Structures are given as structure tokens and as C-alpha cells.
Structure 1
Amino acid sequence: MMPRSRIAVLLLAAVALPLAGCSKGGERPKADLAASKVTTIGVNAYLWRASLDTLSFMPLVQTDSNGGVIVTDWYVNPQVPTERMKVTVSILDQDLRADAVRVAALREVSQGGQWVAAPVRAATVQKLEDIILTRARDLRRAAIAG
């Protein structure tokens, strides 16, 4: 007669081995590519990509994906050559959340050949944050669908 522990091991092996290969069509289970928490870089990858996409028309001075900081150079809109903007985006978390992105902007206007600091409307900064968040959500939805 076999000891109980050996019988238990054999039963476990008999049940577990056939189930070990079970998955869709013999494929390995796939990782959730659309997880809201992404750790391959220091910050949320969807927010990072969305920020770069949103600011792609502006020249970049600094990008740090581990620290989550994007700094643009001064950008002059060809339609308003007497005004220029500089933007800094900070991604504060690894999760895709509304409070995980912060935008700061500087604005200057040309007066007599000199650039002079001018106020930035709060709505401008809020609009940039909204655009980044919307784009990040779109990227995540596309990853889920794909």
C-alpha cells in the first residue's frame, strides 16, 4: 500500500498536468496590454504618448520618461507672430487618472521688439490637460481593441 502523501501527489499531478496546457487554442495567455498601470517606464505609458502627441507641433527641449517631464521650447504660432508659448507637462503617476497629469504654460507677447511675460488663461492649461487625457484614453481603448 502507498503512503497517503504519495497518493496525494500522484492525484494532484494527474489533475494538474492536463489542465496546465489548457488555454485558447493551445496559446499562452496574453498579458493585458491595456492595463491602466504601466511600469516599463517611470510613468503611465498612455499619458506619456498622449503628451508627446499633443505637443508634437512644438519643439522639445527636454523629455524624461522616468521622471515624467516634457518641456517644450518657445513656440510662435505663425498666425499670431507677436505671441509665444512654452509648455511643461508633468506626469505624476503610473496610473491613467485625471489627476496624474499637470500642465504649466508660459506666455510672452512681443512689445517693441522685446518679449514680455503675459498671463496664461487657466482655460488654456485645462484644455491642454483635457486633450492629453482624452488622447491617453483613446490610446488605451485602441490597445484593448487590438
Structure 2
Amino acid sequence: MFGLKGKITVMLLGMTALAACGGGGSGFGGGGGSGPGGIRDQQISQESRQRLIESGALPDPNHDSIFDLFDNNDDPNVTVEVNRYIWNATLEILDFMPIEAADPFSGVIVYGYGTPPGGGRAYRATVYVTDPALDARSLRVALQGRGGGAVSRETARAVEDAILTRARQLRIAEGNL
């Protein structure tokens, strides 16, 4: 339909129209362009620029790409949402089992098979700390014996009670009561 000259003409007209849209006219903001009194002519102090960057109004020059915005660079001591006393008590009480995986951010500890002191049967466990509160509702323990499926509810309850008792002892010993 169009020849080479026609396509070039259409592209030049489109680029000219786009260039005209971004000028320093007096649009809705009134004088917000690059002319006298415009935002680009005003010098922003370094403190103001830093406040604008922290509030998100200006892009952070330290970010290399858009994907850096999704990185969790917060202090892990602040962002962890599990109870540290329950977490540490779990590690102490179930220290006879090897740890296969642990994620303090989600509160999951997966143990391999281990035989408790004085016991004859090997167990493995998955512990889930669900809340930052030192509360029985914050702890879930799933035990499995080597020979078969899940163990009795009483055995799992005894392990939960031992972990919670030790967590309370750790909290009292630290003096945060």
C-alpha cells in the first residue's frame, strides 16, 4: 500500500507527534515543565532528595534493576515471624535427630530419623512454628516412626509439651517475663 517513502513519512509524523506530547507546556499542573519556574529548574537539597527516595517518590539510584525492588534486604532479626524461644527449644529438645531442612522465615524444621536417648524406635519429625507468640497454638509437631506411619497423639503431645516447657524456661532465664 505504502512505498518506502510513505512508511518513512508515517514514522516521522508519529515521532513528531510523540515529541510534541512531552513538552513543557502549561498542562494541568500549570508551569510544571522545564521553563522558568518549572520543576526541572529547581534545585533539590540532598536531604530532600533522600527523603523522597525513602518515601518512594523518586527512584533509588542504588537499585540496578526492577527486580531489586523485590529483594528482601530487611534485617532478619526484625522480619522473622516465629517465636525464637520455641525455635531454640525445638533445636535443643530434638537434638538427637539430624536436621534435614530449616527455614526460620516460614518456621519449618524438618528432621531426619533419630533414636531418642533411652528409646529403641527411630523417629523423624516436622516442626512448624506458626506465630511469634509463646503459646501452645504457635507450635505444631508431626512425628513419624521408622516402621510405620504417624505415632500416637500422646507421643506427639509429649514432644510438644517438652518443647513448650523448655521455651518457657529459656524465656524466664533471659529475664523477659
TM over 0.5: yes
Conservation of the 8 A alpha-carbon contact between 1:98 and 1:133: yes
Match of 2:130 in 1: 92
CA distance in 1 between partners of 2:105 and 2:122 (Å): 28
Conservation of the 8 A alpha-carbon contact between 2:113 and 2:146: no
Q: How does 1:1-146 map to 2 (within 5 A)?
A: 39=78, 41-76=80-115, 83-109=121-147, 117-144=148-175
Query: Which has the higher Rg, Structure 1 or Structure 2?
Result: 2
Report the 3-state secondary structure (helix = DSSP H, G, I; strand = E; otherwise coil) of the residue aligned with 1:88. Answer: strand
Conservation of the 8 A alpha-carbon contact between 2:96 and 2:117: no
Structure 1 residue 136: Cα displacement: 0.5
Tell me the matched-pair count: 100
> What TM-score results when the alignment is normalised by the length of structure 1?
0.61
Structure 1 residue 119: Cα displacement: 4.5
Conservation of the 8 A alpha-carbon contact between 1:50 and 1:133: yes
> What TM-score results when the alignment is normalised by the length of structure 2?
0.51
Q: Could you list the runs of 5+ residues in structure 1 that have no partner in the other structure?
A: 1-37, 110-116
Identity among equivalent positions (%) equals 38
Structure 1 residue 84: Cα displacement: 2.1
CA distance in 1 between partners of 2:83 and 2:117 (Å): 33
Amino acid at match of 1:128: V
Conservation of the 8 A alpha-carbon contact between 1:88 and 1:103: yes
Conservation of the 8 A alpha-carbon contact between 2:82 and 2:107: yes
Superposition RMSD in Å: 2.1
Amino acid at match of 1:136: A
CA distance in 1 between partners of 2:150 and 2:104 (Å): 29
Highest RCO, 1 vs 2 (Cα 8 Å, sep ≥ 6) = 1
Structure 1 residue 47: Cα displacement: 0.6
Amino acid at match of 1:48: W
CA distance in 1 between partners of 2:97 and 2:165 (Å): 19
Conservation of the 8 A alpha-carbon contact between 1:39 and 1:94: no
